[in-house]
A and B are shown apart, each in its own frame.
Chain A
Amino acid sequence: MAHDTTLSDAHAEHEHHELPTVFGFWVYLMTDCIIFGSLFAVFAVLRNQYAGGPTGKELFEISGLALETALLLISSITYGFGMIAAHKGQIKSVQMWLAVTFLLGLGFVFLEVREFAHMIADGAGPDRSAFLSAFFTLVSTHGLHVSCGLIWLVVMIIQLSGVSAINERMMNKLTMLSLFWHFLDIVWICVFTYVYLASMI
């Protein structure tokens, strides 16, 4: 396996193939896709099992949802600008865009945690009904992924401060984080549509 990289590098001179590390990360994302798919299936099955507890319509606030969605969507394009800067080799600019992305992501996680705290304080925690168990499992799995993305962003900002040029290895890391971050935004599209908006109809 260790030789794969060199083999592929030699190969890449003939035809353009994606780097194996990035492809491997893509395969990981697809397995993540299966995790979220199964959690969505669980939610779809249990979405009406309120056990006499509160419904989504009573719990969810559209203003908070809109703000969370906006933060995550804007963080996607700021990461995109970071990638553009990375391809131009502007390290300071990359760090700045990653920091902006980090703050937006942190805002998202903060709003989500606050929403959860309010719900649990109001007696609508994951133990209240099957609907709420499924809701908390699905939405917090996404939130946990975003939190991991935040840690990764900090690590990248620190690693970038120690280099004078962005080499291929560093670019791979940035590309994989890009895939990860944009993938989480896609999962969020499904969450705000099927979990929140569909409950508010």
Chain B
Amino acid sequence: MSNDHSAAHGGSSHGNATSYIIGFVLAVILTAAAFIVVMGHSLSPSATLMAITVLAAIQVVVHLIFFLHMSTTAEQAWDNKVFLFTLGFVAIFFVGTMFIMDNTAAHMMSR
């Protein structure tokens, strides 16, 4: 039924209840894990930061797949191209900003 509908619309794929629930359960587990890691104080500060970074990255992917329904199908090829371009763009200016501002701070002895 849902396949027929999406074909009739020729449009974006959409999830069913199962995929939303799977995504939601994964998101809750990942969020809770991040809070527990920080509140538990069982890891060193740098290990904690690394752990929550990994958990956040996984959760972003979970949301993209289960909630925004991103996929590698042909109909979404352009969405994915724009997405990857944006990801690269943000990565370049984020890393570049950090590099330049760290360097500036080091030279000006401001921290």
The contact string, 1 if C-beta is below 8 Å from chain A, for chain B 3-16, is 00111011110111
Task: Check if A45 sits within 8 Å of B101, measured CB to CB.
Answer: yes
The contact string, 1 if C-beta is below 8 Å from chain B, for chain A 19-63, is 100110011001101100110110011001000000000000010
A136 within 8 A of B: no
Kindly provide the distance from the CB of B64 to the nearest chain A CB, expressed in whole angstroms.
7
> How many residues does chain B have at the interface if contact means C-beta atoms less than 8 Å apart?
53
Task: Check if B56 sits within 8 Å of A182, measured CB to CB.
Answer: no
Interface majority SS (helix, strand, loop, mixed), chain B: helix
Task: Check if B38 sits within 8 Å of A81, measured CB to CB.
Answer: no
- Top-8 shortest CB links A-B: A12-B10, A37-B90, A80-B20, A193-B56, A182-B67, A30-B86, A41-B97, A77-B24
Q: Which residues of A are found within 8 Å of B67, using beta-carbon distances? A: 76, 80, 182, 185
The CA-CA distance from A171 to B12 in the complex, in Å, is: 11
Select which of A34, A38, A44, A192 is within 8 A of B98 by beta carbon. A44
Kindly provide the distance from the CB of B44 to the nearest chain A CB, expressed in whole angstroms.
9
Q: Which residues of A are found within 8 Å of B11, using beta-carbon distances? A: 12, 16, 18-19, 22, 171-172, 175
Kindly provide the distance from the CB of A19 to the nearest chain B CB, expressed in whole angstroms.
5
Select which of A15, A44, A48 is within 8 A of B111 by beta carbon. A48
With both beta carbons as reference points, the residue of chain B lying nearest to A187 in the complex is identified as: B60
The CA-CA distance from A172 to B89 in the complex, in Å, is: 28
Task: Check if B7 sits within 8 Å of A201, measured CB to CB.
Answer: no
Task: Check if B27 sits within 8 Å of A175, measured CB to CB.
Answer: no
Select which of B53, B59, B93 is within 8 A of A41 by beta carbon. B93
**Residues in B lying within 8 Å of A, measured CB to CB:** 2, 5-7, 9-12, 14-17, 20-21, 23-24, 27-28, 31, 34-35, 38-39, 45, 48-49, 52-53, 55-56, 59-60, 63-64, 67-68, 74-76, 78-79, 82-83, 85-86, 89-90, 93-94, 97-98, 101, 111
The CA-CA distance from A183 to B9 in the complex, in Å, is: 23
Q: Which residues of A are found within 8 Å of B9, using beta-carbon distances? A: 19, 168, 171
**Chain A contact residues (Cβ within 8 angstroms of B): what range?**
35 or more
Task: Check if B14 sits within 8 Å of A87, measured CB to CB.
Answer: yes
A122 within 8 A of B: no
Task: Check if A40 sits within 8 Å of B94, measured CB to CB.
Answer: yes
A73 within 8 A of B: yes
Select which of A37, A62, A182, A194 is within 8 A of B63 by beta carbon. A182
